[in-house]
Structure 1
Amino acid sequence: MRVGPSSLSGAFALRPNLPHAAFLLPVLVVLGCASPRPSSPPLAPPSMPTPTEPGSTPAATARKPETAALKAELVAKHGEAQRARIERGVEQVAAQWREEDGDLAAFVREQFIADPKLLDATFARMERLFEQLEGHLNELGRELRWATDVDQGPMLPVDPLFAAYDPGAPVTEDLFRAKVGFVVLLNFPLTTLAERVAHAQDYTRRQWAEARLAGRFYRRVPSEVQQEVSRAGAAADLYISEYNVWMHHLVNERGERLFPKGLRLISHWNLRDELKADYADAAQGIAKQRMIVQVMERIVTQTIPAAVINNPRLDWNPFTNAVTVAPAGTVEENAPVGGASAEAAPEPDTRYARLLAHFHAARRVDPYVPVAPTQLARAFEVQRELPEARVKAVLEQVLTSPLVPRVAQLIEQRLGRKLEPQDLWFNGFRPGSSRSETELDRLTRQRYPTADAFAKDIPRLLRGLGFSKERAAYLAERIRVDPSRGAGHAMQAARRGDFPHLRTRVEKEGMNYKGYNIAVHELGHNVEQVFSLYDVDHTLLAGVPNNAFTEALAFVFQARDMELLGLGKPDASAERERVLNDFWQTWEIAGVALVDIAVWHWMYEHPEATPAQLREATATIAREHWDRYYAPVLGGKGSPLLGIYSHMISYPLYLPDYPLGHLIAFQIEEHLHKKGPLGAEFERMARQGAVTPDAWMVHATGSPVSAEPLLRATEAALAR
């Protein structure tokens, strides 16, 4: 999973760690700093609507006579050739201008740039300074969160307070007050998604960069509101990163312990991965899986006893919900201090209080973003740049595909039993999945006793993925590896000279297979992050279209984790397995994504809801989606299992990026199988930067984002 400043739309307010920037004021008096070049033509004719929808706010409406006269004055001064830029720029400024900003007309007269050389110089200056601004604030934010993100022993009480502080919260307002934001809006086009899609094949790279530059100022959110967003995110992230279950202390009705001593699994990532690994345990695998499902459902419904969370001193039967003090001989050495009282009181809806905090923070942002006045609108129209209706239609196309029962029948044949809810995470299509978790853990712990050992092996891993020796060294020099307190993530850099960080969990015995699998995934993020920052032609375009694309590129790496362990390259049979695995994983996460979306719609429809009410609503929504899409295949009618994903709590509306990522990854894989080698093609794709999703995909693979390639390949795989 990618964490860090977003490059989804190039919007400044989407980037979490940004500075006070009064020192940027000198950009208003720009001296030549770029070679002369013709100015870019307008990105769209003036008749096309601007995203600020002039006249949609009372202030903009009141200024219409003033702005009309101002436009006429500027056109008379600078000529008819500048009309489109003048009319659009004045409207963009007027939509954000406030009384305390001063004399609008005087500002516009002084700061409108008609000279192409001066416009080029201004663009170049801003590109350089914004890279430094974002980059250094990203580094500061990373340092403030270091103790909560990186496992370096117990946290101090002050650490969560630092993590919740966002030094970049005031930056957008500061830049407006310093008039830098208004210089951008006056001289560069703030485009709509419709415009970017319509002109995707016509834009020059400079035009794309201009669109991303102006996109930084599509909203003007007060710093105290942005700080609330940061506090909600930091609190939710910390809550999730410490949500561990000590598996040796799960007991069944006979008092049996099915899991080994010392196994500590974070929800939901490690619980899910353990469930997948248990397919290789012929003796107790299904009993373990059923127990994990019960744990997951109790987390979703908040019937899990609060006392057992991250506590190795208590035993818990998740079927009866009984809690007892663990016998002395079962408690892990050096176990963290925890209560030993056999208290069975449920967790007090903390999970949903954290989610509501996200929602309330988002509602405070809503009034300041008239072009996207809900978190849902911002997630799809601004960040993802794919309309919600299109995303849902693609997901439902997979969920309702007639291929689902056919693949399910094949799984039943392999398992020799009817499918159950845990088979949502069936992993038997992956080559090498027959190997036991114990064997895989032995391999990875031996190879990676520490995070540093993984870091030193990155050049070999990259060469194994098809990168040249020189490019592998280039990438390895720019990636840092840290032991993660949570499941793992990739923290990107935002300026050249800084480096992305790979975080994955390393237990005291070394990196187990779960940690290794996540590390390979995060390495895919980091490689993308290096190429899309260091090798992109405009740093204003650094990144990828949206998180689904970086997830897709990370999936390409993750799919080769067994190969990188020296367990063989895939043959034709393995290729068939890969297709079926991709289909089943996409089917699984598509329903989870729809639950995430539906829960946010419910919150907007019930803005005064309590955590308890949100809990009931989430469980109901999860059950409804389960019964509609999954119960006919997996049984378990009324299961709330789709609500288990931790992203719902810590990363609002991130989950749709995963099924989209699977679909995009499949299209990329199909292209790689035809073109190859992976290294050179991966680099070519990643260097495109943050253009729109379909434009990126057409350039990368020749076709827009679609479920059709995966569905066609699945049909063919079943026929074989």
Structure 2
Amino acid sequence: MVSTAATVLALMALAAPPSRPAIPSPPQALRPAASRAVKALVARHGEAERPRAERGVAQAAAFWRPSDGDAKAFEAFCAEHFLPAGEALDATFARLEASFEALDGHALEISRELSRYAQLDEGPMRPVDALLAAYDASAHQIDDLFDGKVAFVALLNFPLTTLDERLSAGAGWSRRAWAEARLANRFARRVPAAVNQGIARASADADLYIADYNLFMHHVLAEDGRRLFPAGKRLLSHWNLRDELKAQYAQSDGLARQRVIAKAMERIVTQTIPAAVVNDPAVDWNPFTNEVRPAPAETIEPGATPRARAAKASAAREPDTRYAKILANFRAVKAADPYSPSAPTYIARKFELEREIPEARVVAMLEEVLGAPEIGRIARLVEERLGRKLEPFDVWYAGFKPRIERSEAQLDQLTRSRYPTAEAFAKDLPVTLQKLGFSEEKARFLAGHIAVDPARGSGHAMEAARRGDQAHLRTRVGADGMDYKGFNIAIHELGHNVEQTFSLYGVDHTLLRGVPNTAFTEAIAFVFQARDLEVLGLPPPSADAKRILALNDLWAAYEIAGVALVDIGMWHWMYDHPKAAPAELREATLRLARDVWNRWYAPVFGVRDVPILAIYSHMVSNLLYLPDYPIGHLIAAQLEEHLEKLPPGKRLGDEIERITIQGTLAPDLWMKGATGEPVSAQPLIRAAARALERS
């Protein structure tokens, strides 16, 4: 029986982390050998080593394959490589830590270099660029480390841990114990290289599809056929479309443009968009009627390269390509399921191994935001400000931000004159960082460890994994310079890079490099992004403006929380229907999007069955990533609440450094170290409630 979208959402809400053992059962044939190995180790090293010997031998046996050797070879390996607590164990730990830093760091650098032609705006792409971007330099790493027995040394001597163990006992662990847990858990899966390569190919293919999915807005017409957008405005889906929609709140005549963008988004989601209009400046398209025709010659931008000639300018829709890419990614990562016994689905791996926040708790926090009574009050305030009833696209209302009082053209002029190239942005980094609250010395250090590249897409941050390498900030810079949207995104990505640099160079163990999960680095990025006007030398928000910004933050979290539920629900549906065709996934995703809308948004907007929550490109190319955004909003609100309480004279930069060098502890433990409280939605909701009281 085919499960409905509502059933998927209900099951999602009940999801809880299953109690799985950290140590999978060893193969039956190896159990006698494992027992003999433990007995021999205890006899050799003493009874005090029995718990470590039993756990380590069981861990190694669980991943041992016939190709690794027979039972005698396993016993001999355990006898040779088990290390009792002491100097030899400490030295081996240090060797492995340094070696994995080198392996991870250089593999990342190779992949970054080979993908540069697909990701950076350095001229036209060549057919080979897609193949280079799909190459994964670390695809064979786990295989090689198991085949070379290095992985078994780690499993024999350091403990695999479950999410339950890390959450319940982690607060009492030493930094070394946390580093040991991270060391062992990198071998909790033995995924063959061929599977990893398949994942890399599917991911690179989806990345290319999204990076080149643009609409030439001068040729996207209003319902009455008018051209509402200037020539040359090319918007990437979904990022630039959404940001353009937001920017129109500052324009007195922006409503018509917003309706055009919203209709275009709907066509993309439903895959009723004509294939001919994607990334082609020679085709006019009315998204309301779905009519397509060749653009008049005089409207085609000089230097544009039309892809569809008049004969091809048909209304034939895109053939579910969006959903085919999602399914290709799903099937690629699902192929790794049999090799991850402690987290046997991609969903489990995202929540239990990567986020380390149980899915049920994430869903509960999202629903806490979606159901907050303050949302309805904010909606009425938005209607008052707009002077009209809400329309579905007002889920992206941006009028609470002070910058909306300035025209987009003014902000564009300011950023373009200051940053005509990516190099200009890079040169200004020390000054930018000082304006963000870092000392001159620390700003120079950070700028020296961050490279700036011109992005082909909207921009992103890429970490370094080895001390001596640089984090990379990819930002989109047009031929006439960096517009304000690009600058705003660049400051966000700079937040990622600062976190990535501190959490690599500042941690005491490089095995703890990073932050607990992606949501935490998103939160740091949001903290930076909120201060972009100060970087431009414009007045920072007043106390009243900051209170109003709290309304913006809750409204933004409200929007993305629903998107995250659609993303989670889509993955549950795919696991329930692993053989689905792209058209079936399309219909299921649209049902999920409408169900989420009807439950959490229709009571506020007064409109039902809206599919727009499924527009995010992350669903195609960043697998099950979207929950990190609302969690990031929650964490950002907690950090902002904490930063507001800093004593006079305390630098924001110093506090950001203190917070980020904690490394990859469990999320609640990290947050307690940062702010004194576990991760919670309440600071975000409280801030909005206070703002409403003063509005």
Alpha-carbon offset, residue 496 of structure 1: 0.5
1:348 pairs with one of 319, 331, 339: 319
Q: Does 1:134 align with 2:134?
A: no
Rate the CA distance shift 1:70–1:484 in 2: closer, same or farther, 3 A: same
3-state SS of the aligned residue for 2:127? coil
Structure 1: how far apart are the matches of 2:223 and 2:444? 54
Structure 2: how far apart are the matches of 1:713 and 1:115? 49
1:319 pairs with one of 282, 288, 300: 288
Alpha-carbon offset, residue 478 of structure 1: 0.7
2:160 pairs with one of 190, 196, 199: 190
Q: Verify the 8 A CA contact 1:50 1:88 in the aligned structure 2.
A: no
Alpha-carbon offset, residue 257 of structure 1: 0.6
The residue correspondences of 1:608-619 to structure 2 (distance < 5 A) are: 608-619=579-590
Segments of 5+ residues of structure 1 without an aligned counterpart are 1-47
Rate the CA distance shift 1:115–1:251 in 2: closer, same or farther, 3 A: closer
Structure 2: how far apart are the matches of 1:601 and 1:359? 11
Structure 2: how far apart are the matches of 1:51 and 1:364? 21
The corresponding residue for 1:308 is 277
Structure 1: how far apart are the matches of 2:86 and 2:74? 23
2:617 pairs with one of 632, 642, 646: 646
Alpha-carbon offset, residue 432 of structure 1: 2.0
Alpha-carbon offset, residue 50 of structure 1: 4.7
Structure 2: how far apart are the matches of 1:673 and 1:253? 47
Structure 2: how far apart are the matches of 1:377 and 1:257? 47
Rate the CA distance shift 1:641–1:115 in 2: closer, same or farther, 3 A: closer
1:459 pairs with one of 425, 430, 443: 430
The residue correspondences of 1:137-176 to structure 2 (distance < 5 A) are: 137-176=107-146
Q: Verify the 8 A CA contact 2:222 2:256 in the aligned structure 1.
A: no
Structure 1: how far apart are the matches of 2:548 and 2:470? 36
The corresponding residue for 2:690 is 716
2:36 pairs with one of 44, 47, 69: 69
3-state SS of the aligned residue for 2:452? strand
> Which residue identity lines up with residue 156 of structure 2 in the other structure?
L
Structure 1: how far apart are the matches of 2:86 and 2:52? 12
Segments of 5+ residues of structure 2 without an aligned counterpart are 1-18
3-state SS of the aligned residue for 2:404? coil
> Which residue identity lines up with residue 542 of structure 1 in the other structure?
R
Q: Deviations over 1:675-720 (max 9, x none)?
A: 1531110010111111110011000011000001111221111111
3-state SS of the aligned residue for 1:432? helix
The corresponding residue for 2:247 is 277
The corresponding residue for 1:122 is 92
The corresponding residue for 2:372 is 401
1:697 pairs with one of 643, 658, 671: 671
3-state SS of the aligned residue for 1:706? coil
3-state SS of the aligned residue for 2:248? helix
The corresponding residue for 1:290 is 259
3-state SS of the aligned residue for 1:699? helix
Sequence identity of aligned pairs in percent? 61
Structure 2: how far apart are the matches of 1:407 and 1:609? 40
Structure 2: how far apart are the matches of 1:250 and 1:127? 54
Q: Verify the 8 A CA contact 2:189 2:340 in the aligned structure 1.
A: yes
Q: Does 1:707 align with 2:681?
A: yes
Structure 1: how far apart are the matches of 2:391 and 2:666? 40
The corresponding residue for 1:682 is 656
3-state SS of the aligned residue for 1:497? coil
The corresponding residue for 2:6 is none
Alpha-carbon offset, residue 486 of structure 1: 0.7
Count of residue pairs brought into register by the alignment: 668
> Which residue identity lines up with residue 375 of structure 1 in the other structure?
Y
3-state SS of the aligned residue for 1:481? strand
> Which residue identity lines up with residue 573 of structure 2 in the other structure?
W
> Which residue identity lines up with residue 638 of structure 1 in the other structure?
D
3-state SS of the aligned residue for 1:63? helix
3-state SS of the aligned residue for 1:151? coil
Q: Considering only aligned residues, what root-mean-square deviation do their CA atoms show, in Å?
A: 1.1
Q: Verify the 8 A CA contact 2:223 2:287 in the aligned structure 1.
A: no
The corresponding residue for 1:95 is 62
> Which residue identity lines up with residue 682 of structure 2 in the other structure?
E
Q: Verify the 8 A CA contact 1:193 1:382 in the aligned structure 2.
A: yes
Q: Verify the 8 A CA contact 2:21 2:342 in the aligned structure 1.
A: no
Q: Does 1:512 align with 2:483?
A: yes
Structure 1 residue runs of 4 or more that deviate by more than 4 Å after TM superposition: none
Structure 1: how far apart are the matches of 2:557 and 2:534? 22
Structure 2: how far apart are the matches of 1:564 and 1:513? 12
> Which residue identity lines up with residue 431 of structure 2 in the other structure?
R
2:228 pairs with one of 258, 266, 281: 258
Q: Verify the 8 A CA contact 1:278 1:286 in the aligned structure 2.
A: yes
The corresponding residue for 2:5 is none
> Which residue identity lines up with residue 92 of structure 2 in the other structure?
T
Q: Verify the 8 A CA contact 2:139 2:193 in the aligned structure 1.
A: yes
The corresponding residue for 2:394 is 423
1:329 pairs with one of 276, 280, 298: 298
The corresponding residue for 1:581 is 552
Alpha-carbon offset, residue 337 of structure 1: 3.7
1:634 pairs with one of 602, 605, 630: 605
The corresponding residue for 1:3 is none
> Which residue identity lines up with residue 433 of structure 2 in the other structure?
L
Structure 2: how far apart are the matches of 1:715 and 1:644? 29
Structure 2: how far apart are the matches of 1:252 and 1:360? 39
The corresponding residue for 2:462 is 491
Structure 2: how far apart are the matches of 1:658 and 1:90? 40
Q: Deviations over 1:589-628 (max 9, x none)?
A: 0000000000000001111100111111111111111111
Alpha-carbon offset, residue 49 of structure 1: 7.7
The corresponding residue for 1:655 is 626
Q: Verify the 8 A CA contact 2:36 2:75 in the aligned structure 1.
A: no
2:539 pairs with one of 568, 574, 593: 568
The corresponding residue for 2:571 is 600
The corresponding residue for 2:420 is 449
Q: Verify the 8 A CA contact 1:579 1:710 in the aligned structure 2.
A: yes
Structure 2: how far apart are the matches of 1:695 and 1:253? 53
> Which residue identity lines up with residue 118 of structure 1 in the other structure?
A
> Which residue identity lines up with residue 618 of structure 1 in the other structure?
T
Q: Verify the 8 A CA contact 1:50 1:190 in the aligned structure 2.
A: no
Structure 1 stretch displaced more, 573-582 or 388-397: 573-582
1:622 pairs with one of 590, 593, 599: 593
Alpha-carbon offset, residue 260 of structure 1: 0.8
The corresponding residue for 1:375 is 346
